[in-house]
Amino acid sequence: MKIIRRIGAIGKNKPVGPDRVSGEILKLGGEAMIPYHARLLDITMNNGTLPGDWKTGTVIPIHKGGDRSLVTNYRPVSLTSVVCKQMEHIVASYLRQVWDKNDWLYEGQRGFRPGYSCESQVITVCQDIAYSLDNGDRIDTIIVDFLKAFI
């Protein structure tokens, strides 16, 4: 069952988010937590809304190295609801199953798919461009700088 696997995957020292529900409590509850997770998922899906604490996060700066007085040597980490993260994984897993079963995704779709990466997307685009240039085809491009997304 997906929910019990997600509960089992919760890190032992996972910090609590704004809802103050610790991963340790969820993990200790084990299978007894499944009906509560299922009910919570059912309520949020049927109402089309999320609890307020699931929409917020506590941002903490983590030192990457170097001079501690420079802001650029820190990266932000957002502590969000452990329960919400578990629900996100369950819903995403279900959607992937439906998409794979029905073959709804274009084979070139890389985002949010296991076994695919940004690097494989870049390689594919470069190969497509090289192929088009070799064939003398016209190429229209839009260049987007994603540097800030990965810093």
- Answer yes or no: do 64 and 29 share one domain: yes
Q: What is the mean pLDDT of residues 44-49?
A: 86
Name the helix (H) or strand (E) containing 7: helix 2-8
Question: 71 and 33 in one domain?
Answer: yes
Tokens standing for residue 127: 């190969």
Residue with more model confidence, 124 or 15? 124
pLDDT of 58-76, one tens digit each?
Answer: 888 999 999 999 998 999 9
pLDDT of residue 9: 77
Same domain, 148 and 113: yes
Mean pLDDT over the full length of the chain: 83
Q: What is the pLDDT of residue 131?
A: 94
pLDDT, position 132 = 93
How many whole angstroms separate alpha carbon 133 and alpha carbon 151? Answer: 32
Q: Which residue segment(s) compose the domain that 132 sits in?
A: 106-151
In the chain, % of residues over pLDDT 70: 95
3 close to 40: Cβ distance less than 8 angstroms: no
State whether 21 and 76 are in the same domain.
Answer: yes
Residues 54 and 84 in one domain: yes
The answer to pTM > 0.85 is no
Q: How confident is the model at residue 50 (pLDDT cuts 50, 70, 90)?
A: confident
Q: Are residues 3 and 49 in the same domain?
A: yes
Residue 95 shares a structural domain with residue 128: no
How confident is the model over 98-145, as pLDDT tens digits?
988 998 887 777 777 777 887 888 888 899 999 999 999 998 888 888
In this structure, what are the phi and psi dihedrals at residue 75, rounded to the nearest 5 degrees?
A: -120, 140
Indicate whether 10 and 22 sit together in one domain. Answer: yes
